[in-house]
Chains A and B, each alone.
Chain A
């Protein structure tokens, strides 16, 4: 399995990633690209990248790409999919993008059961702008805007997007995965593939939330970050499938 990760999928361009060492974005890009390859849909796929560390994803995915304004990728994807119903459309969004500034867009795209796939990177922090609190920052977690640790009295509670969105009837498939170990990477890829297949079968909206690390803004080494994710994020954000179409169960 590890070997396969290191051969460059066709759905990735030659451009080297700009991500920090150890950052999960690179891994998830590869998984998405491998899924596109395996499904043989690169020619039909249109991706939408966010504002956030993945803003340059349009340089990495070797498919037609849009760069969307902060949080609005689900609206942009709606416009694309409604214009080109036979294409495969995905958004790739961080937690500030999807769970803060863009909550309205994602909720309503799910409610309408738009037939695209969202890859949601939950790294519990705003990466690009310098490690500020995200809506997914854990209670007690230190960020540049919660220097004493997130205090629920001041800043409320983290949002569990997968749980929340899976309550909507428009959600066809919602799963939370993690990429902190090779085994979990394999599972994550399966979920991403499923999310694309759900779209291709026309069943409705599909999202995979990927628990990810941001060593740079967490102020840890990559290996410490992986451990922190496992010990702190997974208990609060349980992994698993939150919603899937009845017939696939």
Chain B
């Protein structure tokens, strides 16, 4: 089992930290994990990407060039990486931000209006975790509980009041993915 997840969007959307959260959860399940950001000039113009590899085997290259799962938060990211996803893989689109379609029938495409759902939950900052919850459900790569546990580790204690909303977000995302399965 090797899951290579690419998350792509704009800086400030919390993409890098969502990736770290996932890597951290994998580590807590004693899996092999690696996280790598895009860096340097690529970061100009505001794009931010990161790759997360999770496996029960040591990870060869942490660079995610052919993702098994792609999460996109912007239209350019969908255009740039949509074709790279391996056949049989998944593309998760935050449809609150991207109204574009992708013309592929060899991958699973799931559109999640994450920002809209986040507003329903009452916290716009949990949008990424709604998508992450869907990824967890579709891939089975780590358990929701592990993500919640690692939230306790990565968030400073004064922000622990954010955890219930994040947990709800993860679960909402997972439920949506279950319907799709």
* A–B contact, 8 Å CB criterion (strictly below): no
